[in-house]
Amino acid sequence: MKKKSILLMILVVMAAFYTYTDVYADTATYKTKYGTYTYTDDPNSDGIKLTRYKEKKRRTAIYIPSDIDGKKVTSLGSHLFGPEDDVDVFVKKLVIPDTVIRLEDSCLDDVGTMTSVVIPDSVEYIGKRAFSSTSLKSVKLPKNLKVLKKYAFSGCSYMEKISLPDSLTTIETGAVSYCGNLKKISIPKNVKKIEQGAFNGLNGLETIRVSSENKKYDSRESCDAIIDTKENELILACNNTVVPASVKVIGSYAFSYCDKLETLELPEGVITIKAYAFQSNQTIKKMIIPSTVKKIGNYNMPFATTEIVLKTTKLNSKTLGKSAFELPQMKNKVNIKLCHIVIKVPESKLSFYKKLIKKQSGANFFKGINPFEVVGM
């Protein structure tokens, strides 16, 4: 029995060894005047994938090689520039050759010094977090790119301009997010899917335009917003958004990061306000909700709110979310003392709304402390 166990252990160790050597057997090193790379065969093409940049000398500009020993460089691997203790990466400018087809997940993320990149039109795939947390100021995406992956340009706080190509069909969650200096977004004609949170954290955004040729989304009446055309649902607003009267639905997180708005009046015609529509908004103090609204989802009170004008008489315990008017500080007895939100409602519904809002707000009502003052108008 012991011999069988020992033999089994030997076989396991040998299998692990051969697996390891198989994975790394084809890894080689190539030196250029801009630095040294390790590389391997690209599983997605007949070319080469660069796997790691190895260089002790600081270089502010790096030109990726287009070929190695007669084979084209077709892919840049994950974490190309580290992390490695013996590498001092201080690249500001990166030029990618037109042989490259793929930029893998996390390819260049956290290269915090990089302010400029040249991405050739040959690139068809840009992976998740490929350029996240870099210092890019502007970027032009390749003309053959169809999908902008999750968090590809998240946390690029210096980003001022991003050009999206007409080939683009899908923008995934967080693809262009938390880029505080970005002032304009233009959605090209072939985009068919914008995932929730694709543009989170753009609190400096002032202009939104959707191509007039786009069949899925629009920015009607130059409203500076993205609207789902068929559903008449506003899915992304900015600091200059004027909600058109034709909008029926305010989507989740639509106004979350509009940090220059202090007063928001939704037009008559809006029927539904989805959950989290104003979540994370730091500046809206007064919100006017029209008489046509029939449903308000959870967590719909901006942090700075001091006044809500509730014109609608159509809300009840089934259509007003259980945490519709909740703020985080309402969970703490000390902090809730600082809250005072005036909610103006139709006089005919005053008694009913007083009970409803207290029941559905989600707030903790500590003894003698009520953050809401519900008054008739």
- For the stretch 131-161, pLDDT in tens is 999 999 999 999 999 999 999 999 999 999 9
According to the model, what pLDDT value does residue 233 have?
98
Phi, psi of 7 (to 5 degrees): -65, -40
Which ranges of the chain does DSSP label H, i.e. alpha helix?
2-24, 333-336, 350-360
Task: Please give the average per-residue pLDDT across 86-109, as a whole number.
Answer: 86
Q: Could you tell me if residue 235 is inside a domain?
A: no
According to the model, what pLDDT value does residue 12 have?
46
Contact 26, 43 (CB under 8 A): no
Distance separating alpha carbons of residues 296 and 271, to the nearest angstrom: 9
Least confident range of 1-5, 109-113, 224-228 = 1-5
Q: Could you tell me if residue 320 is inside a domain?
A: yes
Q: Could you tell me if residue 180 is inside a domain?
A: no
Q: Indicate the number of domains in the chain.
A: 1
Distance separating alpha carbons of residues 280 and 67, to the nearest angstrom: 47
Please list, in sequence order, all residues whose beta carbon lies within 8 angstroms of the beta carbon of residue 183, skipping any fewer than 6 positions away: 160, 204, 205, 206, 207
Q: Could you tell me if residue 184 is inside a domain?
A: no
Q: How confident is the model at residue 85 (pLDDT cuts 50, 70, 90)?
A: very low
Residue 17 vs residue 359, higher pLDDT: 359
Q: How confident is the model at residue 2 (pLDDT cuts 50, 70, 90)?
A: low
List Cα–Cα distances, 228 to 197, 231, 272, 324, in angstroms: 15, 6, 14, 24
Residue 151 vs residue 323, higher pLDDT: 151
Tokens linked to 271? 């029927």
Q: Could you tell me if residue 328 is inside a domain?
A: yes
Of the chain, the percentage scoring pLDDT greater than 70 comes to 90
Distance separating alpha carbons of residues 185 and 159, to the nearest angstrom: 12
Distance separating alpha carbons of residues 48 and 53, to the nearest angstrom: 14
According to the model, what pLDDT value does residue 5 have?
58
Tokens linked to 98? 């037109």
Instruction: State the DSSP code for 320.
Output: B
Q: Which domain holds residue 376?
A: 281-377
Distance separating alpha carbons of residues 202 and 337, to the nearest angstrom: 31
Beta strands in 152-256 (DSSP E): 161-163, 170-171, 184-187, 193-194, 207-210, 217-218, 225-228, 233-237, 249-250
According to the model, what pLDDT value does residue 302 have?
86
Q: Could you tell me if residue 325 is inside a domain?
A: yes
Distance separating alpha carbons of residues 219 and 337, to the nearest angstrom: 41
Q: Best-predicted range by mean pLDDT among 218-227, 296-305, 352-361?
A: 218-227
pLDDT digits (tens, 9 = 90+) for 155-201: 999 999 999 999 999 999 999 999 999 999 999 999 999 999 999 99
- Residue whose pair of structure tokens reads 């908004």 in the numeric block: 281
According to the model, what pLDDT value does residue 211 have?
98
Q: Could you tell me if residue 353 is inside a domain?
A: yes
| DSSP-derived pairing of the beta strands 225-228 and 35-41 | unpaired
According to the model, what pLDDT value does residue 58 have?
73
- Residue whose pair of structure tokens reads 């990089």 in the numeric block: 114
pLDDT at 281 over 90: no
According to the model, what pLDDT value does residue 23 have?
39
According to the model, what pLDDT value does residue 192 have?
98
β-strand partners of 31? 36
Please give the model's pTM, rounded to 2 decimal places. Answer: 0.86
Q: Could you tell me if residue 289 is inside a domain?
A: yes
Residue 282 vs residue 125, higher pLDDT: 125
DSSP states of 106-131 = TSSTT-TT--EEE--TT--EE-TTTT
Mean pLDDT taken over the chain: 88
Task: Please give the average per-residue pLDDT across 218-231, as a whole number.
Answer: 97
Residue 42 vs residue 86, higher pLDDT: 42
Phi, psi of 310 (to 5 degrees): -105, 95
Residue 291 vs residue 69, higher pLDDT: 291
According to the model, what pLDDT value does residue 111 have?
85
Tokens linked to 268? 């008559």
